[in-house]
Amino acid sequence: MIVLLIGSGGREHALAWRLAQSPRLTKLYAAPGNPGIAAHAECIDLDPLHVELIVAFARNENVGLVVVGPEQPLVEGLADQLRADGVLVFGPSKAAAQLEGSKGFTKDLCARANIPTAAYERFTDKAAALAGLDQFGLPVVIKADGLAAGKGVVIPETRADAEAAIEDMFGGGFGTAGAEVVIEEFMTGEEASFFALTDGKSIMPFGSAQDHKRVGDGDTGPNTGGMGAYSPATIVTPEIEARVMAEIIRPTVETMAAEGMPYSGVLFAGLMLTAEGPKLIEYNCRFGDPECQVLMARFEGCLISLLADVAEGRLAEAPVPTMAAQTALTVVMAAAGYPGTPQKGGTIDGIDAAEAAGARVFQAGTALRDGRIVANGGRVLAVTATGDSVRAAQQAAYAAVEAIHFPTGFYRHDIGWRAVERERAADLA
Ligand code: AMP
Ligand code: GLY
């Protein structure tokens, strides 16, 4: 099968690596790809948001399956256009991708389907939002409704800061994403990511992970797209997974189908594990980055067959995907300045040495200059290793990080710390 992968990040490098191992693959294209992806695919200089060109390319090259990595093309309707032209695609329709594209849409769906989540109100008007703050305690959670590259959430501790955040959102501080605002009750607990594949009818759990969103060690500093992750997330016990499937994922898939917006693709639930049980923070309509890197490191099987079964609506007949029992852990190496403006052009050496030591180095924001890999974005590498415990995977990943020479880069030193502390406590008990 000829496969076209859409995207250019570490998530897509991990997908490309696994797609390239499928015996069914005859040719892999990536649009636009990156130097790491180029080891597995022919990279095509096409903008993922240029829907007509992507559709034309897929048709002309007899692409049998399009795998869409990032959310923006899905929210803008890429999957609909491909399906309309008879091209098989892994990824939800524009209507179904509203689960990520509009936070208010998802909160209303939760209300209709009785899905546990934080109490909320939607506002399209600044004065109403300011008055609406009265219904919430502090801290309070204020979100721009639309896509904001992970930056549209603020959690003010004071009323004055909450009012300033509302002023900023309605003042255009988050672009059109902030034309509508959701105010939410603040939930406390530990966060986890949960993934399920669905073709709109059948649902298959696809593993858990824990991301590290803050830029600094000890979960300090501003939020990022994710500085590292590990899978499985040990706090997502089989009991919690069963509740997440029954109380959150299944009612979502059933309600979307019943309302004429069947969801096909991967449903990524951001969860808060509260004292009352798991609650939904938000949905994403694609794999996480860097969560995908650790899921792919554990996945065993033919990725093309699985994703094609989802795309064709035949998930019920697909073999249950197997995931290695080992833990996978990934450390993101970012360019100085991230999550602000990253320093571009910094040289990177030692990727081969890191891989020789048994790790996988997935490339995200990289470019090739004079035959050398250089930094070309905020998150640059995702250094990924496996082990029999979180500690073992952490040691292996950091040993590989040490082998990489990236003077203008930085990374967190404590990826997996919550699980490592739990392992230590269990050893002492
Ligand atoms: P989101 O973009 O919706 O995932 O939000 C980004 C981050 O904000 C989440 O990973 C949480 O850490 C935090 N967050 C979002 N909503 C809530 C909430 N209702 N209560 C507590 N924290 C939240
Ligand atoms: N790592 C979080 C995300 O992909 O949204």
C-alpha distance from residue 176 to each of 173, 199, 206, 275 (Å) = 9, 31, 33, 35
Mean pLDDT of 307-312: 98
C-alpha distance from residue 181 to each of 11, 114, 299 (Å) = 29, 22, 38
Residue for token pair 């934080």: 118
Q: What DSSP letter does each residue of 8-66 carry, written as one string?
A: -SHHHHHHHHHHTT-TT-SEEEEEE--TTGGGTSEE----TT-HHHHHHHHHHTT-SEE
pLDDT of residue 148: 75
Q: Give dist(CA 362, CA 400) in Å, integer.
A: 12
- Counting ligands in written order, the one closest to the CA of 144 is 1
**Average pLDDT of the chain, as a whole number:** 95
End-to-end alpha carbon distance in the chain: 52
More confident call, 82 vs 168: 82
What angle is formed at CA 168 by the lines to CA 167 and CA 172, rounded to 5 degrees? 115
184 lines ligand 1 (CB under 6 A): yes
Going by pLDDT thresholds of 50, 70 and 90, the confidence category of residue 177 is low
- Counting ligands in written order, the one closest to the CA of 212 is 2
User: How far, in Å, from the CA of 209 to the mean position of ligand 2?
Assistant: 11
Instruction: Say if residues 286 and 173 touch (Cβ distance below 8 Å).
Output: no
288 lines ligand 2 (CB under 6 A): yes
Contact partners, residue 164, CB within 8 Å, separation at least 6 = 156
Alpha carbon of residue 279 to chain centroid:
18
Mean pLDDT of 123-129: 92
C-alpha distance from residue 75 to each of 70, 94, 112, 278, 393 (Å) = 9, 5, 22, 26, 35
Instruction: Say if residues 89 and 82 touch (Cβ distance below 8 Å).
Output: yes
Question: What tens digit of pLDDT does each residue of 212-239 get?
Answer: 999 999 999 988 999 999 999 999 999 9
Question: What tens digit of pLDDT does each residue of 95-119 get?
Answer: 999 999 999 999 999 999 999 999 9
Share of the chain above pLDDT 90, in %: 92
DSSP state of 255: H
Question: What tens digit of pLDDT does each residue of 36-94 get?
Answer: 999 999 999 999 999 999 999 999 999 999 999 999 999 999 999 999 999 999 999 99
Q: Give dist(CA 401, CA 344) in Å, integer.
A: 19
Q: Give dist(CA 228, CA 337) in Å, integer.
A: 17
Q: Give dist(CA 347, CA 409) in Å, integer.
A: 9
User: How far, in Å, from the CA of 97 to the mean position of ligand 1?
Assistant: 19
Question: What tens digit of pLDDT does each residue of 382-423 get?
Answer: 999 999 999 999 999 999 999 999 999 999 999 999 999 999
Q: Give dist(CA 168, CA 147) in Å, integer.
A: 16
Buried b (16+ CB within 10 A) or exposed e, 88-100: bbbbbbbbbbbbb
Question: What tens digit of pLDDT does each residue of 15-25 get?
Answer: 999 999 999 99
177 lines ligand 1 (CB under 6 A): no
Tokens of 170: 């309605």
Going by pLDDT thresholds of 50, 70 and 90, the confidence category of residue 152 is confident
Which residue among 291, 292, 362, 379 is best mutated to probe the pocket of ligand 2, counting the most ligand atoms within 8 A of its Cβ?
291
Question: What tens digit of pLDDT does each residue of 337-366 get?
Answer: 999 999 999 999 999 999 998 999 999 999
pLDDT of residue 130: 92
Contact partners, residue 192, CB within 8 Å, separation at least 6 = 208, 209, 210, 233, 235, 236, 271, 273
Among 87-101, 164-178, 318-332, 375-389, the minimum mean pLDDT is found in 164-178
Instruction: Say if residues 83 and 89 touch (Cβ distance below 8 Å).
Output: yes
User: How far, in Å, from the CA of 340 to the mean position of ligand 1?
Assistant: 20
- Counting ligands in written order, the one closest to the CA of 287 is 2
pTM of the complete model = 0.96
For ligand 2, atom 5, name the residue with the nearest CA.
Answer: 288
Task: State whether residue 320 is helix, strand or coil.
Answer: coil
Nearest to 292 by CA among 202, 391, 380, 226: 226
φ, ψ (nearest 5 deg) of residue 376:
-145, 25
Look at phi and psi of residue 172 and say left if phi exceeds 0, alpha if psi is from -120 to 50, else beta: left
Nearest to 214 by CA among 7, 418, 420: 418
Going by pLDDT thresholds of 50, 70 and 90, the confidence category of residue 428 is confident
Going by pLDDT thresholds of 50, 70 and 90, the confidence category of residue 146 is confident
pLDDT of residue 262: 98
Task: State whether residue 234 is helix, strand or coil.
Answer: coil
pLDDT of residue 239: 97
Q: Give dist(CA 345, CA 358) in Å, integer.
A: 27
pLDDT of residue 150: 64
Q: Which residues pair with 408 in a beta bridge?
A: none
Tokens of 384: 């990924």
User: How far, in Å, from the CA of 214 to the mean position of ligand 1?
Assistant: 12
Q: Give dist(CA 424, CA 407) in Å, integer.
A: 33
User: How far, in Å, from the CA of 418 to the mean position of ligand 1?
Assistant: 18
